[in-house]
Structure 1
Amino acid sequence: MEKMGEKSSRIQDFHKMSFEEKLKIVKEFSNLSDEEVNLLKSMGSLDRKIAETMVENVVGVMPLPFSVAPNFRINGRDYLIPMVIEEASVVAAASNAARFMRDGNGIISIATDSIMIGQIYIYGVKNISFASQIIYENKDEILKLANETDKYLVNIGGGAKDVEVRAIDTRNYGKVLCVHLLVDVKDAMGANTVNTMAEKVAPFIEKLTEGRAILRILSNLADRRIVRTRAIVKKEMLGEEAVELIAMASEIAASDPYRAATHNKGIMNGVIAVALATGQDHRAIEAGAHSYAARTGRYTTLSFWEKDREGNLVGTLEMPLAVGIVGGSIKVHPITKIALKILNISTAKQLAEIMGAVGLAQNFAALRALTTEGIQKGHMRLHAKNIAVMAGASYEEAEKIAEIMVNEKNISFYRAKEILEDIRKKS
């Protein structure tokens, strides 16, 4: 029950209202100023009509910096890497790390075929083993039904390729039968395709097993869609002590889930920045990555660093990456289209290989900073301008304030305010 004077968020047919009507309600509900409303109205590079085709109830856009990381050489080819991220130092760190890894063909990154998993969970099956056998015997019919939903995908060599059956022990409902539909989605992320196929075959599987389909949806643990990446950093560039320290830090992370979580977050800084720039489902990527890191029953690292026989630092990364260059918002968002043009790629496999390479480079940069100067030095140097702006400085003032704070090695909000006051007194 609403209290006297309390505003209600229960708004009938809000989704049917015009953009201006929605914005007016948000303004009144949240006491926004005219200036704040005008900021929401300023859609920048994303046309409002496009935004409204992407999601419901649009009242603005949330811009993030779009950067480019140079120096990357991946599988013998040079790239400029588009990255969208708000965290200071990530783009600079990735660019610098790529410079260390340019020898020969640079970072080597290989992605598997684009196999996604659709899951159909069947409850109430009396004889799990017998039902599993029946499903396998009818595999061809299941695949035929699934592929009827997307003839174009089948014509270009994709589509449902195989069926697997698993039995799941649940706490309160006993054994549940899980049917995996393995689908090659080619250059798409694949969620809509796989979900449609799972829903199509579910009634037939119900008939075969005499059970009830409870769930029909893809899995974001895309462990059939893997990217494997490796790189070498020469000891002459890095120093023997740094090689040893990074290798040790990698082993610690692999052995301790508390450290592994932060180690993997460093990888995802690079991966997700490229994912945002190219219009990927970054939430699915995150879910798949962390699930894969825990696939043995204990959470560990997605990458590993060690010394080779010559004393160089060698790094490897293995993770699932469900990405696409067609479908969804990829061909709708104008900036996403520009990002893909900058990369100049023609397949989703290439995009996955690039993202794996950026993830490994970002991971190296973080480990190098951690084991040498400390993570905060470089990060806070780049963050100094943000702090100055938070203190009320204009862009020009922020540049001066950041330089002073870096030289003083005293980067803080309160110091920024002191310097800003001093600058304005003298002007």
Structure 2
Amino acid sequence: MAKKFYELNPKERLDQLALPTELTNRFLAQQDTKRQNLIENYLTDFALPEGIIKNLVLDEQLYQVPLVVEEPSVVAAANNGARMFALGGGFRSVGTGRALLTGQILFDQVDVADVQAFVNDHRQEIEAAAQAAKPSLYQRGGGLQDLVLRELPGRRASLDLVVDTDQAMGANAVNTILEAVKALFMPYQEQILGAILSNAGDHSLVSVSGRVPVMAVGGWAMAKRIVALSEFAKVDPKRAVTENKGVFNGLSAAVLALGNDWRAVEAAGHAYASRDGQYRSLTQWRLEDDQEFLVGELTLPLNIGTVGGALASLQTAQDNFAILGQPDADRTKKILLAVGLSSNLAALKAVAGAGIQAGHMKMQARTLAVQVGAKAEEVAALAAVLAQTTINETTAKRLLGEMRQNGSKD
């Protein structure tokens, strides 16, 4: 009997796809036997550039933060934002964020009062089942912290299990606990639609703030424009979407570099941005101290892990944690928020000033130089010329040809 596609090894899958020889050979050359079992239907590894924020100051401590991203301007913007915040003393964190993740058992067409009575009568059994499902989590000080039944429209209900996941992101741990607890609800098996974690993260809010001397952003008038631009995103969802994307430019690049789930982080962030019924920007900006300082704040629900998950299988992610200094989960979350606020400041300053396009085009010129075949020693010169003219592939190829021709004459 023929193997199913997922049962084939990576080379056999490529052979079955019947790709051009040149493409197949490139995919083969980029395969990694250590990673071929991490995902279904593995073909090859897809590489993205990794850069770094050189000096990010948080609670008077200096961090070097790796970023993995394909967008040219993200690393430059995050560094610029972190530099401006450092001039005001860097970032400050608030409190200690707990690693709390919620799991849901979803009931449909039930008498909610009846389910609540069942939960009350069997609470000890539920707590025991949760502990038996993940004893190692309890040994590390984590485990089930709260149990809440929420009534929803249409005779629906959600039993929310709030779990302390310690240093792990905890998705697998929470789902394991959910399955064990769900088995106790025998009278309601037909009404249970499923049991699954929630990425909302509303029990795991983290906050950082920082201040920037107004002169660092170009003076009082520019600082005032930045505040006004941020406030615009509080009333216009279309602007808020783009402003929040700017936050996640840097934040998600750091999450990815650390082997964590950037999709879950962004989903929770966007949900939090809509918490009052309208989508709004996530950051807060104001002028303080007789308007000498521009102050920014960012609060987000954030669930990430420093152990387990994909991180345990990705050596580069482990190496990036080493670059970061091996912080615990709480400290890592605050570093990530500082990166997001740095990216936000750089974007706001660009939009309120000369416009975002000027900086983007400088970075795009360098990317285009690489795209048209410029050698490493030619990229900077070609990008500099491109930045002064129309940036497109035809122009880039022509200028590269002229550079080489002029060089051969010298």
- TM-score where L is the length of structure 2: 0.94
What residue identity is the alignment partner of 1:19? P
What residue identity is the alignment partner of 2:180? K
- 1:123 and 2:103 matched: no
SS in 1 for 2:37: helix
User: Where does structure 1 lack aligned partners over 5 or more consecutive residues?
Assistant: 1-10
- 1:277 and 2:233 matched: no
Judge conservation of contact 2:93–2:334 (CA < 8 Å) in 1.
yes
For residues 7-406 of structure 1, what are the structure 2 equivalents within 5 Å? 12-26=3-17, 28=18, 31-34=19-22, 36-43=23-30, 48-103=32-87, 106-110=90-94, 111-125=96-110, 127-169=111-153, 174-207=154-187, 212-238=191-217, 239-311=219-291, 312-406=293-387
* Shift, 1:300, TM fit: 0.8
**Alpha-carbon separation, structure 2, partners of 1:423 and 1:24:** 42
What residue identity is the alignment partner of 2:161? L
1:246-272: CA deviations, max 9, x gaps?
000000011100000000000000111
Judge conservation of contact 1:278–1:337 (CA < 8 Å) in 2.
yes
**Alpha-carbon separation, structure 1, partners of 2:230 and 2:120:** 43
* Shift, 1:103, TM fit: 4.6
**Alpha-carbon separation, structure 2, partners of 1:299 and 1:367:** 18
SS in 2 for 1:310: coil
**Alpha-carbon separation, structure 2, partners of 1:210 and 1:335:** 43
SS in 2 for 1:307: strand
* Shift, 1:205, TM fit: 3.0
Give 1:6's aligned residue.
Answer: none
Go from structure 1 to structure 2 and tell me whether the alpha carbon gap of 1:323 and 1:199 turns closer, same or farther (over 3 Å shift): same
4+ runs deviating over 6 angstroms: none
Name the % identity: 33
SS in 2 for 1:232: strand
* Shift, 1:413, TM fit: 2.5
Go from structure 1 to structure 2 and tell me whether the alpha carbon gap of 1:257 and 1:136 turns closer, same or farther (over 3 Å shift): farther
* Shift, 1:184, TM fit: 0.1
Judge conservation of contact 1:109–1:228 (CA < 8 Å) in 2.
yes
**Alpha-carbon separation, structure 2, partners of 1:137 and 1:228:** 38
**Alpha-carbon separation, structure 2, partners of 1:296 and 1:206:** 37
1:260-300: CA deviations, max 9, x gaps?
00000000001110011100011111111111111211111
What residue identity is the alignment partner of 2:349? R
- 1:419 and 2:406 matched: no
1:139-193: CA deviations, max 9, x gaps?
3321221111111110111001110111122xxxx21121000000011111000
- TM-score where L is the length of structure 1: 0.90
**Alpha-carbon separation, structure 1, partners of 2:221 and 2:62:** 30
**Alpha-carbon separation, structure 1, partners of 2:171 and 2:189:** 27
* Shift, 1:133, TM fit: 3.7
Query: What root-mean-square deviation, in Å, do the aligned CA atoms of Structure 1 and Structure 2 show?
Result: 1.8
* Shift, 1:12, TM fit: 5.0
**Alpha-carbon separation, structure 2, partners of 1:404 and 1:211:** 68
**Alpha-carbon separation, structure 2, partners of 1:216 and 1:190:** 15
What residue identity is the alignment partner of 1:20? K
Judge conservation of contact 2:56–2:82 (CA < 8 Å) in 1.
yes
SS in 2 for 1:326: coil
Judge conservation of contact 1:109–1:356 (CA < 8 Å) in 2.
no
**Alpha-carbon separation, structure 1, partners of 2:115 and 2:12:** 55
Judge conservation of contact 1:254–1:304 (CA < 8 Å) in 2.
no
* Shift, 1:306, TM fit: 1.3
**Alpha-carbon separation, structure 2, partners of 1:402 and 1:105:** 35
Judge conservation of contact 2:10–2:36 (CA < 8 Å) in 1.
no
What residue identity is the alignment partner of 1:42? A
User: Where does structure 2 lack aligned partners over 5 or more consecutive residues?
Assistant: none
Go from structure 1 to structure 2 and tell me whether the alpha carbon gap of 1:136 and 1:102 turns closer, same or farther (over 3 Å shift): farther
* Shift, 1:412, TM fit: 2.8
Judge conservation of contact 1:139–1:162 (CA < 8 Å) in 2.
no
* Shift, 1:423, TM fit: 2.4
**Alpha-carbon separation, structure 2, partners of 1:50 and 1:226:** 35
SS in 1 for 2:290: coil
